[in-house]
Structure 1
Amino acid sequence: MRAPLALAATCVAVSAALALSACGGSKKSDDKIKDQGTDVSTSAPAPTTTSAAPSPTAPGVKRPVITLPSDAKDVFEDEHTGDPVKDAVLADNAGYVLATDEGIFKGKTTENLGFYATEKGLANAITYVQGVHAKGLVWTGTVRFFDRKVTMEGTGDASVVYCSDESKAFPKHVKTGKVDNVATTSESYVLYSTHAKKNAQGVWQTTDIVSDRGSKQCQP
């Protein structure tokens, strides 16, 4: 997600810059996109071919290579925990974020999103991408994801909690190329709580996500 923008997004809202990267339900009711999403295929994806943000890697099945335009970058901190399982969870979580952003720039969701997400995690991202596309927006700049922590659950599933810093990301109008230089506020920082489940291929798919924009936990 990105900071506020005047459009509800993410499954969260686009309220300050563009809540565009990981999508999900928000604790703020006015942050939700009302558009209904449609399903996408969960079959093996075809890699994309442009710009500069390759997907992180994790063991198991070959992951798709996802690239974003040269003026947009997602930065993922805390990639290495010392635990290979947790590292794999974090890598696939980053893949989910990138696949959602890929949908923003393409104007539609791709098979890569179905590779990294399922259940509510997939439905929310589809709704988010459709809502942003309907507004004629993409984004430019850099979004930093930090304080990324994995907790392994007794069921074998995992939860990932992390923050995003959207202070250097700005909404960009597709038709005109105009960039809205939104000021940095507390709303530029978002706390995410996600759930992930390992599928038969060994991919940690995001099954649900909730966000809290302006969370004190993520403030600088």
Structure 2
Amino acid sequence: MARRALTTTATAFATAAALLLTACGGGDDASSDDIKGAGDSSPGPTASKTSAAPAVKRPVIKLPSSFQLTFENWTSSDPVKQAVLDDGKEQLRAGYEAIIENDPDSKNRAFYDTKNGFLQSRQWIKTYTDKNLTVIGKLPVFDPKVTLSKDKAAASLSYCTDESKASTRNRRTGEVKGNPAGTDPEVFYVISMGKSPQGVWQAVSARSERGGCPQ
């Protein structure tokens, strides 16, 4: 379930700032029609409000009981950091919703990504959907940390996941597989995020390191 190699926080801020501008101002070969919803903070009619930005409607993310994605200590006394946590949580939930629904072009996931961020998200989702895989079991997400840029327009969100009770299931054969024996079940993630003009914290890029969680 892990993604690509980890980047540094400083690089994450630079990437978030540059790619957020690209998503808002062009300079990318892909048009908004190529990735529907990516970088757009105006979702469809099935949406709800969250504390992150009350004036902006968020998509309703639904996960089945067969896959339990839990978030531990996902709170901050800083309202800006809490907004990052709220949208970062829904960004991850939307990704697994897309895998389970076999939908790499998920509008819900695209809502929480910049255009460039969604290109990476789509590749990750397709590592499952191209192999007819879905996810089942339990996946705790814990130890979140938010670092804000000086102008609070970009952020780095890091967290850990524990895959020891999560598995994939083949849609066609029903075969269930977990991680190979001896694999470290914990994965450390860093998500570079930028704040859209509408107030949504969107993922610009994601990096991961298996076994990299702080001890």
TM-score range, shorter chain: 0.7 to 0.9
Question: Is 1:208 aligned with 2:205?
Answer: yes
Distance 1:128 1:118 in 2: 15
1:131-154: per-residue Cα shift (whole Å, max 9, x none)? Answer: 211111011011111110101111
Unaligned runs of 5+ in 1: 3-11, 13-24, 28-37
Distance 2:45 2:175 in 1: 29
Residue from 156, 161, 171 that aligns with 1:159: 156
Equivalent in the alignment of 1:69: 64
Equivalent in the alignment of 2:15: none
Distance 1:116 1:189 in 2: 24
Q: Which has the higher contact order (CA 8 A, sep 6+)?
A: 2
- Structure 2 SS opposite 1:26: coil
Following TM superposition, by how much is the alpha carbon of 1:84 offset from its aligned partner in structure 2, in angstroms?
1.3
Equivalent in the alignment of 1:33: none
Following TM superposition, by how much is the alpha carbon of 1:177 offset from its aligned partner in structure 2, in angstroms?
2.4
Aligned amino acid, residue 77 of structure 2: G
Taking structure 1 as reference, are residues 141 and 125 closer, same or farther at Cα in structure 2, changes over 3 Å only?
A: same
1:161-218: per-residue Cα shift (whole Å, max 9, x none)? Answer: 1111111101111112232254664531100111111111111001111100122526
- Structure 1 SS opposite 2:176: coil
Alignment check: 8 A CA contact 1:56 1:95 kept = no
Deviates more, 1:63-72 or 1:208-217: 208-217
1:72-122: per-residue Cα shift (whole Å, max 9, x none)? Answer: 011112221111111110010011101111110111131111110114421
Question: Is 1:170 aligned with 2:174?
Answer: no
Question: Is 1:143 aligned with 2:147?
Answer: no
Question: Is 1:193 aligned with 2:172?
Answer: no
- Structure 1 SS opposite 2:65: coil
RMSD over aligned CA atoms reads 2.6
Question: Is 1:26 aligned with 2:5?
Answer: yes
Unaligned runs of 5+ in 2: 7-33
Higher helix content, 1 or 2: 2
Distance 1:77 1:141 in 2: 17
Residue from 103, 107, 115 that aligns with 1:111: 107
Taking structure 1 as reference, are residues 173 and 65 closer, same or farther at Cα in structure 2, changes over 3 Å only?
A: same
Taking structure 1 as reference, are residues 175 and 57 closer, same or farther at Cα in structure 2, changes over 3 Å only?
A: farther
Distance 1:57 1:201 in 2: 14
Residue from 122, 125, 129 that aligns with 1:126: 122
Following TM superposition, by how much is the alpha carbon of 1:47 offset from its aligned partner in structure 2, in angstroms?
6.9
- Structure 2 SS opposite 1:70: coil
